């Protein structure tokens, strides 16, 4: 049980590490905040966000894995195997700079392990569908629509037809707040997933009654873990989302972040365990489409969507393999820990060949230089006033 809790907290750490970009890619890209400040702010707000709600944690601990009269059919060793699957996939996508979903990696790993350990009956398909699969498809789309509308509104209201300064630089200041809001929202959804896993483990070993929410120490531990992970950063992912998707301007960034935060907060409130990465990406794409003359790089979008689609089955496969090993009992759990640790160490060593941190995050500029910047078309008033006057 202690090993599972430690690994769950490590997963929480990697989640923060992986998802820093969700909140901070756009303000860093537009120059609203210095990277180091942005990451520190994200860490603090993730910490606060983790305390705001527990609905998502309840979805994980009391929903996806079916509870029988005698408790949960999945033991802590299977939860451990699921976590190995999630972490290995998370770290692999981080290494390759592919925005994957930490949440879906977690669900995938858990489902793969549960299927091997306890069969199809262990999964509550209804809850999985209602609170994970459908929100996974629905939330990025909603965020994209919201961002599209918000961007149109922002540009529409501030547009000047007389060529005078439009003051859109002012959105850069707003981005400090909106990106902070995304970090807060991230804490309300993602930190809770680990709370749910730890609660599930406590229920599985009989240390907590079924259908109860996370204990306070669990909330505190998860909040600290996600905040630390966020602070350690995720520069490779920032590089992909911040400039890889579209040419982000302050007004657009503000619209995208506000939409991301609104979607995550609304979803957290009803217990949707969604992927904050997917929501952030949906918003950035939606806001890009909302701008005139803006060009979204669909090749990058395809790259990201492929990562999303792969996440659930890939992490489920790793979780299932780990679960097969875990079936050996205590030696299996030990072997899992050694193998998982070995894979992570190898990934870390590979990543050290080209380290990315706050000092050389301007690699972003390097990749952005290759971008063909399409100049905004001059706004034209649609009314026929000039013709009519003549």
Partner 1 sequence: MHWENLPLVLFFSIVPAASVVALYALGIRLLTASGRTPIVAPLEFTDAIAIVTPEEILKNEKRARQAAKKSPLSQAQKNAAYVAAWLCFVSSGAVVLLGIWLILPISHK
Q: For residues 309-348, which are near partner 1 according to CB under 8 A?
A: none
Query: How far is residue 387's CA from residue 106's CA, in Å, rounded to a whole number?
Result: 62
32 binds partner 1 (CB under 8 A): yes
Q: Which stretch binds partner 1 (CB under 8 A): 83-91, 195-203, 341-349, 367-375?
A: 367-375
Q: Which stretch binds partner 1 (CB under 8 A): 101-109, 172-180, 198-206, 303-311?
A: 172-180
Tokens of 119: 């069969």
Do strands 71-72 and 67-68 pair parallel, antiparallel, or not at all (unpaired)?
A: antiparallel
* Minimum distance of partner 1 from residue 16's CB (angstroms): 20
SS3 for 9?
helix
Closer residue to partner 1 (CB): 98 or 361 = 361
Footprint (CB under 8 A) of partner 1, residues 174-193: 174, 177, 181, 184, 188
* Minimum distance of partner 1 from residue 186's CB (angstroms): 13
Closer residue to partner 1 (CB): 201 or 258 = 258
12 in Cβ contact with 187 (< 8 Å): no
- Bridge partners of 67, per DSSP, are 72
Query: How far is residue 160's CA from residue 253's CA, in Å, rounded to a whole number?
Result: 20
Number of amino acids touching partner 1 (CB under 8 A):
76
Candidates 52, 289, 301, 347; binder of partner 1 (CB under 8 A) is: 52
Query: How far is residue 163's CA from residue 313's CA, in Å, rounded to a whole number?
Result: 52
Candidates 7, 8, 35, 82; binder of partner 1 (CB under 8 A) is: 35
Q: How many CB atoms lie within 10 A of CB 14?
A: 23
Task: With CA atoms as reference, report the closest residue to 109 among 4, 249, 23.
Answer: 4
* Minimum distance of partner 1 from residue 2's CB (angstroms): 29
30 binds partner 1 (CB under 8 A): yes
Closer residue to partner 1 (CB): 91 or 143 = 143
Closer residue to partner 1 (CB): 73 or 260 = 260
Task: With CA atoms as reference, report the closest residue to 320 among 72, 129, 118, 22.
Answer: 118
Q: Which stretch binds partner 1 (CB under 8 A): 97-105, 114-122, 166-174, 214-222?
A: 166-174
Site string for partner 1, 246-285 (x = CB under 8 A): -xx-xx--xx--xx-xxx-xxxxxx-x-------------
- Helices 76-95 and 102-118, packing angle to 10 deg: 140
Calculate ∠ Cα 149-150-152, nearest 5°. Answer: 65
* Helix locations, 205-247, DSSP H: 216-232, 235-244
- One DSSP character per residue, 54-83 reads -HHHHHIIIIIB-EETTEESS-HHHHHHHH
Candidates 68, 119, 121, 167; binder of partner 1 (CB under 8 A) is: 167
Site string for partner 1, 121-150 (x = CB under 8 A): -----x--xx---xx--xx--xx-xxx-xx
Query: How far is residue 104's CA from residue 197's CA, in Å, rounded to a whole number?
Result: 13
* Minimum distance of partner 1 from residue 132's CB (angstroms): 12
Q: Which letter does DSSP use for residue 123 in this model? A: B
241 binds partner 1 (CB under 8 A): no
Q: Which stretch binds partner 1 (CB under 8 A): 4-12, 168-176, 203-211, 305-313?
A: 168-176
């Amino acid at each position: 049980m202690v090993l599972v809790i430690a690994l769950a907290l490590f997963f929480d750490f990697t989640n923060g590490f992986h998802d820093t970009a969700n909140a901070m890619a756009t303000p860093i890209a537009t120059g609203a905040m210095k990277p180091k400040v942005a990451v520190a702010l994200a860490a603090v707000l993730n910490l606060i966000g983790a305390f705001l709600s527990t609905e998502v944690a309840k979805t994980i601990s009391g929903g996806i894995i079916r509870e029988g009269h005698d408790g949960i059919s999945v033991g802590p060793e299977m939860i451990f195997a699921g976590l190995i699957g999630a972490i290995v996939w998370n770290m692999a996508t981080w290494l390759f700079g592919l925005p994957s979903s930490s949440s879906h990696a977690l669900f995938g790993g858990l489902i793969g392990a549960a299927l091997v350990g306890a069969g199809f009956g262990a999964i509550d398909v209804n809850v999985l569908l209602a609170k994970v699969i459908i929100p996974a498809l629905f939330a990025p789309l909603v965020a994209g629509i919201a961002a599209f509308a918000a961007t149109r509104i922002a540009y529409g209201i501030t547009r000047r037809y007389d060529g005078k300064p439009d003051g859109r630089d002012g959105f850069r200041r707003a981005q400090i707040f909106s990106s902070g809001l995304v970090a807060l929202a991230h804490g309300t959804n993602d930190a809770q997933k680990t709370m749910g896993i730890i609660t599930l483990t406590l229920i599985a070993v009989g240390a907590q009654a079924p259908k109860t929410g996370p204990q306070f120490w669990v909330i505190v531990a998860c909040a600290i873990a996600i905040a630390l992970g966020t602070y350690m950063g995720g520069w490779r992912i920032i590089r992909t989302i911040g400039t890889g998707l579209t040419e982000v301007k302050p007004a657009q960034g503000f619209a995208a972040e506000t939409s991301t935060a609104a979607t995550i907060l609304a979803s957290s409130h009803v217990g949707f365990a969604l992927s904050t990465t997917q929501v952030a990406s949906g918003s950035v794409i939606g806001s890009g489409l909302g701008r005139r003359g803006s060009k979204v790089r669909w090749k990058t979008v395809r790259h990201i969507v492929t990562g999303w689609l792969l996440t659930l089955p890939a992490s489920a496969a790793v979780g299932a393999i780990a679960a097969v090993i875990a079936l050996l009992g205590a030696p299996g759990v030990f072997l899992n820990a050694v193998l998982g640790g070995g894979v992570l160490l190898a990934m870390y060593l590979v990543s050290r060949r080209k380290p990315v941190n706050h000092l050389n995050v301007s690699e972003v500029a390097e990749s952005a230089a290759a971008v063909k910047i399409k100049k905004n078309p001059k706004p034209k008033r649609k009314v026929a006033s000039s013709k009519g006057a003549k």
